[in-house]
Amino acid sequence: MPAWSTRSPARRWEQVYRRRLMVSDTLSVFAAVFGSQWLRFGTESEHLSIDTDPQFVGFSVSYTAFSAVLVVGWLYALSLFATRRASIIGTGTLEYKQVVDATLRVFGLLAIICYLGKVELGRGYFLLALPVGLIFLLGTRWIWRVWVGHKRKSGWYFNRTLLIGERVQTAHVGNEILRTPSSGLLPVAAITSDSVLVDDLLPGVPVRGGLSNISQVLDEEAIETVVYTGSDRMTPEGLRQLGWDLEHRGIHLVVAPALTDIAGPRIRARPVAGLPLINVDIPEFEGRKYSSKRALDILGSGFGLILLSPLFLVLAFLIKRDSAGPVFFRQKRVGLNGKDFYMVKFRSMVVDAEDRLDALQKSSEGNGVLFKMKSDPRITRLGAFLRRFSIDELPQLINVFRGDMSLVGPRPPLRSEVDQYEDAAHRRFLVKPGMTGLWQVSGRSDLSWEDSLRLDLYYVENWSMTGDFIILWRTARAVVGSSGAY
């Protein structure tokens, strides 16, 4: 069992964490609303007028009273939209989406009321409170999430989890959960249909018996979450009864379908005759979604090239001064639909680096397919610095602007690497390769080939514009905070 597994406190941490979120939400909303009022009107007492029917006299309401009502309504919406629900806090993007949705609905309703009621609401006040409030809310949520992440790395803030189902499927689900401790789930025991007690399901996750032992294990292991992966021996009535029993005990039930590497946006519940069927959308590789991605690539790369052009000139001078050879290094890579293109980088190695590669293959520290070497003798003195902070990758903005690459996507491989691919790996070529991608921000040079491929295929199947922005943000953090690529 992992070293951090024995230190997970009881689920009361969720209640404490939700209270902390409520306090930070209240402070954020209060600061945004009353701060906007102060910036717009200062300390003077201002009123907003409300025009009623012509037969009656209009009346006014102080902005302070209006702000107080807005604060209460905003906080109520955050609770109504379950932005502090235990199943979404601390992981994934749903928490952020719920916060944004609740906020936009509050201000949308406010705009409608002001229009229909002929309320003369100050535009500056309105336009300040909305974005500032969102920034405060999302910012504080992100800070709390980082804090929880650090706690989980130290072994705290996990839900003790029981895995139930067929052995092979349950082992797969349990392994994926252990791979991502940010989920907040900590498998401590398993119940399998064959109830074989000889071997642990996973290291540190013992099999505690069959389906008849569920109640006993729930009590003995102080289980807080049950993950059910499916079993032929569990009848629909039995699963329903299990749900009722867990509800009575206050234990979360998570049903894990036999789907892997499928993201939420492609999954939709489809109730049919009382059955919670899951509809999985077919991935699309063209259309409006990809037009938006291309527009972002053009704008982002174009702006980046203009902004970084002075830096490019300085780097060109330094590279020429550091070692003999050209400033740029052009290398043939495999891109969209398996077509070759020339990727551009700042030269960080000696001129004959490609010719010396074969002699270094036995010293590779890569993952079987990719050649990696921490102390590569071909790297120049300046090149080591450029590669440490991925500065050598910046000229790929030219490839992005030309359409060979995207800002975010799978890693562009060499043809020699592609020749070693199995069939599944070729799905990486369904989208354009990227300057950065999911595997780069999930471990950079330290991942195995299997993990790198799995993350690339996950991106291909499930990418979104929101996900791209998150990857770009995480890329900046990975470059600055990690040991760099090699």
C-beta contacts of 236-244 below 8 A and 24+ residues apart: 238/211, 242/214
Tokens matching residue 116: 């229909």
Question: Which residue stretches of the chain have pLDDT < 50?
Answer: 1-10, 56-57, 486
Q: Residue 214 carries which side chain, given as an amino acid letter? A: I
- Provide the residue ranges of all domains of the chain, joining segments of one domain with +: 3-153, 159-258, 288-481
Report the alpha-carbon distance of residue 408 to residue 437 in Å, rounded: 5
E strand or H helix that includes residue 73 = helix 63-80
Q: List Cβ neighbours of 245 (8 Å cut-off, separation of 6 or more).
A: 215
Report the alpha-carbon distance of residue 1 to residue 448 in Å, rounded: 22
Name the β-bridge partners of 330. 344
Report the alpha-carbon distance of residue 409 to residue 37 in Å, rounded: 43
Cα 192 versus chain centre, distance: 31
Q: Specify whether the CB–CB gap between 378 and 358 falls below 8 A.
A: no
Report the alpha-carbon distance of residue 5 to residue 11 in Å, rounded: 14
Q: Using the 8-state DSSP alphabet, how is residue 281 labeled?
A: P
Report the alpha-carbon distance of residue 119 to residue 116 in Å, rounded: 8
pLDDT of residue 486: 46
pLDDT digits (tens, 9 = 90+) for 10-41: 467 788 888 999 999 999 999 999 999 888 87
Name the β-bridge partners of 268. 279
pLDDT digits (tens, 9 = 90+) for 437-480: 888 787 655 667 777 888 888 888 888 888 888 889 888 877 76
Residue 331's SS3 state is strand
Q: Specify whether the CB–CB gap between 129 and 33 falls below 8 A.
A: yes
Angle at 272 between CA 268 and CA 277, to 5 degrees: 40
pLDDT of residue 467: 84
pLDDT of residue 355: 66
Q: Specify whether the CB–CB gap between 152 and 182 falls below 8 A.
A: yes
Tokens matching residue 38: 């102060």
Nearest to 231 by CA among 163, 162, 185, 160: 163
Report the alpha-carbon distance of residue 26 to residue 63 in Å, rounded: 19
Residue 300's SS3 state is helix
Angle at 471 between CA 293 and CA 174, to 5 degrees: 120
CATH number listed for the domain at residues 159-258: 3.40.50.1980
